Chain A
Amino acid sequence: MSGSAGQTGWTTDGAGSSAAMAGGARHPIIEFRNLGLWYGGYHALVDINETVYPKDCVVICGPSGSGKSSLLRCVNGLEKFQQGDVIVRGTSVKHCRDLPALRYHVGLVFQRFELYPHMTCLSNVRLALRKVLKLPRAEADRRAAEVLARFGVLDQAGKYPAQLSGGQQQRVAICRSLVLEPDVMMFDEPTSALDPEMIDDVLEVLLQLVREGMTMLIVTHEMQFARDVATRIIFMEQGRVVEHGTKEQFFSGTRNPRTRAFLDRVFKEKRAEERSR
């Protein structure tokens, strides 16, 4: 049972890791097994069965309220699901006894950035390095500065989040998760709260991460981006996965009427937007 414990130093629950050991060279990073989530009487996620492999770029799309954000939050245990399980790098989230340790290996970037408003950008990025990884001050500062520089926001390091533009704030939020060197990066509608001019900005960053080989799970409306960057696409509606497949299958070969309708609507809006610019 020692397989996946080696590199990341997690406490692995016995039940999950044998599955990771089996099979060929590709061990899944995230597995959703019969995942079910209820909010009171409302069935938010219905029998989700999906797999995410290393270096995948999975885009999750669908109308509002389809459960996309909840799905992401189930992965790092922020959302307590009632049915099924999520296996992350061989560890069962349901039985995980050390959620904080699991969480920093899975980065989550929020729609509204959720930076700490009372701390400078540098402190925002540095906090987890100091408190979770227990790095000494100098080392933490160095790493934080390094990642901020990598995404072009080092000169904002001493400023407070409110003094930055939306695009810059989102980049700092990405740094905050990335500095912990996660195995997977998840993005919950990263460009929805941004003005149009800044969307491309952030999409550039995402593209950079994909090129560097990061495994990504992105919830987004930006179908053009999905077409450029995704390896797999999952379409959700009312808590269910209606359609999933590779990019090619999805964009050209889909026969599902609901998916077609969604794509048509999204691309029509996009064309109208571009014409008016």
Chain B
Amino acid sequence: MGYELQWSILWEPPYREWILEGLSVTYQISLIAWAFALVIGILIGMLAESPFRPLQYVSIAYVELFRNIPLLVQLFFAYFVIPLLLPFALRRQLYDLGWEMGSAILTLSLYTAAKLAEHVRAGLNTVGRGIRQGALSTGLTWWQMEVFVVVPLLLRIIVPSITSEFLTIFKSSSLAMAVGVVETTYVTQRIGFNTFRWIEANTMGTLVYLATAWAVAIVMGVIETHVRVPGLLQRGGAR
């Protein structure tokens, strides 16, 4: 084969700095988008189960919109089209401030929020009507029931599904390179192009994602054991 693996090249500057920068950007995008996605996703998910019809439709529409359009298409739409919808002055500012990363974070947040909303809706279904009726029968208002009984239970139920979305967000952040963000996948390819050490570069990139997945799985596993509701496996839910 005549190909000698040379791992040390990854440690030399400037490649070392590139790798660290890529890593940092990947984590930034993923974590910021995750924070937004959690808030938006849980809200939209709860709207789906609210007693108001119009709000339910809003929730369903949101989820269907962001679930059925590929992430890459959403990203390009955000990157190319949104600035055009803004007045000219803001447009330049947007690009100056780094709209590559901004559009990536925006897209990833909204997309993941839609996924999370689905998990929340499923979780609320598991909570079911029985417990709600039990709570209301003791005189709690709807608001009290939601805040003190439903939401705590819901959050505990959806921990496993949320974990997988968290992992997905890290993987999806790789798409940002399509609009020019210097994140891990982009860095791996650049190093490959520059040094022709494709195997080393790609292995390193893959290891980054693997290590992240592994770490997240462990942390979430601990959290899951901690908050697990005893006896709540797969309840039938509403009658």
Contact = CB atoms under 8 A, between A and B. Distances in A.
B133 A78 contact: yes
Interface in A96-153: 100-101, 103-108, 110, 112-118, 127-128, 131-132
Given A110-B133, A116-B131, A118-B153, A127 B138 contact: yes
A142 B134 CA distance: 22
Interface string B2-41: 0000000000000000000000000000000000000000
A131 B231 contact: no
Given A103-B139, A117-B231, A118-B156, A73 B149 contact: no
A89 interface: no
Contacts of B144: 131-132
A132 B149 CA distance: 13
Contact of A160 (B130, B134, B153, B230): B230
Nearest to A115: B134
Contact of B232 (A114, A162, A180): A162
A103 B132 CA distance: 13
B152 interface: yes
Nearest to B134: A114
A162 B133 contact: no
Contact of B133 (A105, A114, A176): A114
B137 interface: yes
Contacts of A112: 130
Nearest to B130: A114
A100 B138 CA distance: 8
Interface in B216-239: 229-232
Give the residue among A113, A114, A115, A180 with the most B Cβ atoms within 10 A: A114
A170 to B, nearest CB: 12
B84 interface: no
**Interface size band for B:** 20 to 34
Interface string B130-152: 11011111111100100011001
Contacts of A114: 130-131, 133-134
Contacts of B229: 117-118, 160, 162
B232 A117 contact: yes
**Interface size band for A:** 20 to 34
A117 B230 contact: yes
A73 to B, nearest CB: 7
Contacts of A76: 136-137
Contacts of B141: 100
Contact of B140 (A110, A113, A132, A160): A132
A82 interface: no
B138 A180 contact: yes
Nearest to A163: B230
A38 to B, nearest CB: 17
A106 B139 CA distance: 9
A161 B131 CA distance: 13
Give the residue among A105, A107, A128, A160 with the most B Cβ atoms within 10 A: A128
A103 B130 contact: no
A177 interface: yes
A116 B232 contact: no
Contact of A110 (B130, B139, B152, B232): B130
Given A110-B130, A110-B134, A104 B139 contact: yes
B71 to A, nearest CB: 34
Contact of A180 (B131, B139, B148): B139
Given A78-B133, A160-B231, A117 B153 contact: yes
Nearest to A69: B239
B120 to A, nearest CB: 16
B182 to A, nearest CB: 44
Closest 4 CB pairs of A and B: A162-B231, A104-B139, A114-B134, A128-B138
Given A160-B229, A180-B139, 5 more contacts: A117-B153, A117-B232, A118-B156, A132-B138, A161-B231
Interface of B: 130-131, 133-141, 144, 148-149, 152-153, 156, 229-232
9 contacts: A100-B141, A106-B137, A108-B133, A110-B134, A128-B138, A131-B140, A160-B229, A160-B230, A176-B138
